[in-house]
Amino acid sequence: MPAPGHASSRFMSRLQHRLDVHGQQGLIRNKLLRDGPCAAVQQFGQRELVSFCSNDYLGLANHPEVIAAWQEGAAHYGVGSGGSHLVTGHCRAHQALEQALAEFTGRERALLFSTGYMANTGVINALMNEGGVVLQDALNHASLLDGGWLSRARSIRYPHNDMQALAQLLAQHQHEQCLVVSDGVFSMDGDVAPLPEMAGLAAAHGAGLMIDDAHGLGCLGASGRGTIELFPEHSSGGVINARELPVLVGTFGKALGTAGAFVAGDAVLIEYLEQFARSYVFTTAMPPALAMATLTSLRVSQAESWRRERLQLLIRRFRQAMSGMAFPVLESHSAVQAVVLGDVDTTLAASALLRDHGLQVSAIRPPTVPRGEARLRITLSAVHTDAQFDQLIQALAVVNRHYIASQSGRADANH
Ligand SMILES: Cc1ncc(COP(=O)(O)O)c(C=O)c1O
């Protein structure tokens, strides 16, 4: 007989072993303890750092009107919704936000989810079944990939933004039910999916198309409608419509500065998801105060278009400054700018160096990105001042000097 606790200690030692291996590979991630709001300058204990890694691209997470809407919502509804949407949790505040999102995206209806992760897993799981095929871009967000696996349909990943590969796969699976799934703006690279080509291919092969525009919504396009607004020549209404792109997901935790997500599309899609998306049905509705804050945030993002213009200006200036650097910066015109340094140690050292310069930029490592592609994921925000931006560029010039030295050291070692 094993001693009491034996099985459990064996179980725990397996966990410990995996953690040890992860640690040896430099992949353990540690949480930073922040003491104040999500703003350009953030407080970590005694230390203040200028953050270039939050997703608060428009600077709305700490906006006074958004905070006031949250407070008003809490005063009116209390803090919790008290139930799932289909039982008793659905409030007028949710309904108002859904209507505003439908109008904003040019779709018939929208449906709220508590998080983007839940929206993506819930939608794909509801739309697809065994026997179907989910075609995913290789760089899709984990929540999309997990949704595919959860659905028990076959998941196939095509090379990043490779429309020829996608066309071939669609032809190959002509007789199966296919759903093409992609990020709109790729979360770790910052580039965008070629939506018109994808829509054309999906339509030609009778497949569904789902785009998660978590990082495009609010930021891209003159009115912030996101990636769907980047291709006006392909659409009569100025945005790619629901016929071309039937399943559109957006999240609130990025440009809108709150939390939660939505799916927008034709009434039939939304009715279907309302009944069958398990992460919608079997969970507590988001607090109505959060819905009120998000609605205010959506309105502010529309009214204060200077935020988008400022963000776009910083993106252009960043691209210009980076053109003189030796390290590779991925092609991107979104708020996400990736400096790919390659190995984990170099990237961790660069992140530490930036911290020494008063900047917070996180090192993104596998499994979030492929092996050998560790990077600094720099995010720009409308509320970064010129001085903060210059501080970033100057510090990156130091990273660049280290990078050049390490590359020439490597070249010498190879001779
Ligand atoms: C592309 C993308 N989709 C979905 C999510 C998940 O959204 P949420 O944080 O609301 O769960 C993220 C990141 O958080 C993301 O980058």
Parent domain of 107: 64-303
Q: Which of 263, 286, 303 is the last residue of a domain?
A: 303
Q: Are residues 292 and 401 in the same domain?
A: no
Instruction: State which of 112, 114, 117 you would mutate to test the pocket of ligand 1, scoring each by most atoms of that ligand within 8 A of its C-beta.
Output: 117
Atom of ligand 1 nearest to the CA of 187: 16
Ligand 1 centre to CA of 251 (Å) is 7
Give the type of residue at 390.
D
Do residues 110 and 98 touch, judged by C-beta distance below 8 A? Answer: yes
The span from the CA of 145 to the CA of 131, in Å, is 17
Q: Is the CB of 143 under 6 A from ligand 1?
A: yes
∠ CA 107-113-116, rounded to 5°: 95
Q: Is the CB of 214 under 6 A from ligand 1?
A: yes
172 inside domain: yes
Q: Are residues 320 and 229 in the same domain?
A: no
* Res 88: pLDDT: 97
Q: What is the pTM of this model?
A: 0.95
* Res 165: pLDDT: 98
DSSP designation for 57: T
> Phi then psi for 362, rounded to 5 degrees?
-85, 150
Ligand 1 centre to CA of 143 (Å) is 7
What is 98-145 written as a DSSP string? HHHHHHHHT-SEEEEES-HHHHHHHHHHHH--TT-EEEEETT--HHHH
25 inside domain: no
4 inside domain: no
Q: Are residues 368 and 242 in the same domain?
A: no
Q: Are residues 45 and 144 in the same domain?
A: no
Give the type of residue at 190.
G
Per-residue pLDDT of the chain (415 residues; tens, 9 = 90+): 556 656 679 999 999 999 999 999 888 888 999 999 999 999 999 999 999 999 999 999 999 999 999 999 999 999 999 999 999 999 999 999 999 999 999 999 999 999 999 999 999 999 999 999 999 999 999 999 999 999 999 999 999 999 999 999 999 999 999 999 999 999 999 999 999 999 999 999 999 999 999 999 999 999 999 999 999 776 555 789 999 999 999 999 999 999 999 999 999 999 999 999 999 999 999 999 999 999 999 999 999 999 999 999 999 999 999 999 999 999 999 999 999 999 899 999 999 999 999 999 999 998 889 889 999 999 999 999 999 999 999 999 999 999 998 887 776 666 6
Burial class (CB in 10 A: 0-12, 13-18, 19+), 295: buried
Give the type of residue at 99.
Q
Q: Is the CB of 54 under 6 A from ligand 1?
A: no
Q: What is the pLDDT of residues 340-350, one digit of tens each?
A: 999 899 999 99
Ligand 1 centre to CA of 146 (Å) is 12
Q: Are residues 217 and 310 in the same domain?
A: no
21 inside domain: no
Nearest C-alpha neighbor of 274 from the set 259, 285, 260 = 285
Q: Is the CB of 212 under 6 A from ligand 1?
A: yes
How many structural domains are present in the chain?
2
Ligand 1, atom 9, residue with closest C-alpha: 116
Q: What is the pLDDT of residues 1-53, one digit of tens each?
A: 556 656 679 999 999 999 999 999 888 888 999 999 999 999 999 999 999 99
Residues in the chain: 415
12 inside domain: no
Give the three-state DSSP class for 325. coil
Q: Is the CB of 141 under 6 A from ligand 1?
A: yes
140 inside domain: yes
Structure tokens at 375: 């990077």
Structure tokens at 177: 């039910």
What is 145-184 written as a DSSP string? HHHHHHHTSEEEEEPTT-HHHHHHHHHHTTTS-EEEEEES
Q: What is the CATH number of the domain that holds 341?
A: 3.90.1150.10
The span from the CA of 75 to the CA of 177, in Å, is 47
For the chain, how are helix, strand and coil distributed in percent, rounded to 5?
45, 15, 40
Ligand 1 centre to CA of 4 (Å) is 42
Q: Which residues pair with 256 in a beta bridge?
A: none
Ligand 1, atom 14, residue with closest C-alpha: 116
Do residues 215 and 244 touch, judged by C-beta distance below 8 A? Answer: no
Ligand 1 centre to CA of 6 (Å) is 39
Q: Is the CB of 213 under 6 A from ligand 1?
A: no
Q: Is 226 left (phi over 0), alpha (psi -120 to 50) or beta?
A: left
**Residue 231 CB neighbour total at 10 angstroms:** 19
Q: Are residues 358 and 388 in the same domain?
A: yes
Q: What is the CATH number of the domain that holds 82?
A: 3.40.640.10
Ligand 1, atom 16, residue with closest C-alpha: 187
Give the three-state DSSP class for 199. helix
Give the three-state DSSP class for 43. strand
Ligand 1 centre to CA of 71 (Å) is 25
Burial class (CB in 10 A: 0-12, 13-18, 19+), 28: exposed
Q: Which of 279, 303, 327 is the last residue of a domain?
A: 303
| Parallel, antiparallel or unpaired: strands 109-113 and 261-265 | antiparallel
126 inside domain: yes
* Res 122: pLDDT: 98
Ligand 1 centre to CA of 2 (Å) is 44
Q: Are residues 319 and 288 in the same domain?
A: no
Q: Is the CB of 140 under 6 A from ligand 1?
A: no
Q: Which of 303, 322, 351 is the last residue of a domain?
A: 303
154 inside domain: yes
Q: Are residues 315 and 344 in the same domain?
A: yes
Q: Are residues 96 and 131 in the same domain?
A: yes
Give the three-state DSSP class for 54. coil
Residues 6+ apart with CB under 8 A from 67: 293
Nearest C-alpha neighbor of 341 from the set 264, 272, 402 = 402
Q: Are residues 405 and 347 in the same domain?
A: yes
Structure tokens at 315: 């993106």
Do residues 256 and 65 touch, judged by C-beta distance below 8 A? Answer: no
Q: Are residues 36 and 141 in the same domain?
A: no
Q: Which residues pair with 178 in a beta bridge?
A: 133
Q: Are residues 241 and 355 in the same domain?
A: no
Residue 367, preceding peptide bond in cis (omega within 30° of 0) = yes
The span from the CA of 273 to the CA of 269, in Å, is 6
Ligand 1, atom 10, residue with closest C-alpha: 116
